[in-house]
Amino acid sequence: MFYDPRENARPAPLTHNPLNALIAPRPIGWIGSVSATGDVNLAPFSYFTAVSAEPAVVVVAPNEKPGGGPKDTLANVREVGEFTVSIVSEPLALAMNETSRVAARGVNEFELARLIAAPSRLVRPPRVAAARAALECQVWDIVALPSTAGGRGSHLVIGTVVGIHIDDALIVGGRVDTVALAPVARLGYFDYSVVTETFEMKRPD
Ligand SMILES: Cc1cc2nc3c(=O)[nH]c(=O)nc-3n(C[C@H](O)[C@H](O)[C@H](O)COP(=O)(O)O)c2cc1C
């Protein structure tokens, strides 16, 4: 089949928007942020990735709340200009999901999911203490994305990475052991995947 998603996001026989299943797996950015008044927030975003290693730059795309208005993460990074990204390893998957609840601004999802918040070194938002790796980021830019036909907006938050935490036990022979990190990835629908095996393929000369 072929279709223009601007006209109809899920034409028959599709029952759901397939883009999440086609652009998969997606890493999950578990974003810690704080408001100008110091309220701490934590939420997962799979429209998240690194776009450059040197310079170290990541992006995350919060869309609007279903009822309209910015999600707390976007409101906070606009106010404070900093965020953290905690990596979701398999044992943290349930807690990550818990922090995706729609909660009033000011609700601390670290507490909601019984997670310990570890202080960051260079930015105000904390990170997930149990995460085996985390990034400290400063906002570089925030770009408004096109709205849906229904008027739902979305933004791209671009962040420069100013600090990287890695559990020393993950470093084997100078490299991060990805299978030991066991990062959880988002697929389509309510599906997830975990990296349990890798293979190496060197580039041609
Ligand atoms: C695995 C996962 C990935 C998600 N990815 C996104 C995303 O990329 N963009 C988005 O706007 N919401 C995403 N969500 C939903 C947000 O986590 C949810 O709206 C959350 O309540 C936002 O919290 P906040 O208002 O505290 O920022 C995702 C949820 C889950 C469970």
CA distance 138 to 58: 10
CA distance 191 to 121: 34
Quote the radius of gyration of the chain (alpha carbons, Å): 18
Q: Which amino acid is at 49?
A: T
Q: What is the pLDDT of residues 5-59, one digit of tens each?
A: 988 889 999 999 999 999 999 999 999 999 999 999 999 999 999 999 999 999 9
> Nearest residue CA, atom 4 of ligand 1?
45
> Nearest residue CA, atom 11 of ligand 1?
62
Q: 97: CA distance to ligand 1 center in Å?
A: 9
pLDDT at 149: 85
* Mean pLDDT computed over 105-118: 96
Asked, as a colleague might, if the bond just before 25 is cis with ω within 30 of 0, I would say: yes
Q: What is the pLDDT of residues 58-91, one digit of tens each?
A: 999 999 998 889 999 999 999 999 999 999 999 9
* Strand ranges across the sheet with 26-27: 26-27, 184-186, 192-194
Asked if 102 and 32 count as a contact pair (C-beta separation under 8 A), the reply is no
In this structure, what token pair is assigned to residue 130? 């149990």
Q: Which atom of ligand 1 is nearest to the CA of 64?
A: 11
